Amino acid sequence: MGLIKLIETGLPGLLIVEPKVFSDDRGYFFESYNHNDFVKENLDFNPVQDNESSSAYGVIRGLHFQNNPHAQSKLVRVIEGEIFDVALDLRKGSPTYGKWYGVQLNSANKLQFYIPKGFAHGFSVLSEKAVVIYKCDDYYSPGDENGINPFDPALNIDWMVENGKEILSPKDKKNPYLADLKNNFTY
């Protein structure tokens, strides 16, 4: 067995990554990313940028993505707290276009979410505080950034946050619904 286990989500290319964690009475150790493990699994992921965010309970960040030519694949994990992490398939022609998948990531389960190009990404904070880090395989490009309103009724995402406690940025509140979205992803 390698140092990672890949778990299929039912959406092509979207994977949960379970690292092998070595624990003893001193604590734990695991490789949070090893390029060779991804190569062995035929995943073309070459990160160039690390991002980190800290958020309070109820914060919903997303759903965000960058259009081509600066689309990003991401590897997301939580180092403190817990989130509900969501990826939405935006690849025109995909059998799962417009479908989303969510997974709870936290500092205890150490799961990671691999989100390929062509997906929007967002998360809600379920703990008092959460620190999230994610690797991206392309740089931030302001001219290519885009988003979808996380409360699009057609998506019907349950962000698992108590009603009335949701915290969104003004920018995310103004993002369009999926039906009105313009993107350049194809399957």
Active site residue 121: no
Domain contains 41? no
Mean pLDDT value of segment 3-17: 95
Total domain count, the chain: 1
CA distance 148 to 172: 7
**What is the value of pTM for the model shown?**
0.95
**pLDDT of residue 66 exceeding 90:** yes
Residue 18 lies in a domain: no
- Characterize 69-98 residue by residue with b for buried, 16 or more Cβ atoms within 10 angstroms of its Cβ, and e for exposed: ebbbbbbbbbeebbbbbbbbbbbeebebbb
CATH of residue 128's domain is: 2.60.120.10
* Residue 16 counted as domain residue: no
Whether 112 is covered by a domain: the verdict is: yes
Q: Is residue 85 included in any domain, yes or no? A: yes
| Per annotation, catalytic residue among 101, 114, 121, 134 | 134
Look up 97 and say whether it is catalytic. no
Domain span at 154: 47-180
In a domain, 10, yes or no: no
**For residue 83, which of 50, 51, 61, 99 has the smallest C-alpha distance?**
61
Of 28, 33, 64, 121, the catalytic one is: 64
Residue 1 pLDDT more than 80?
A: no
pLDDT classification of 40: cutoffs 50, 70, 90: very high
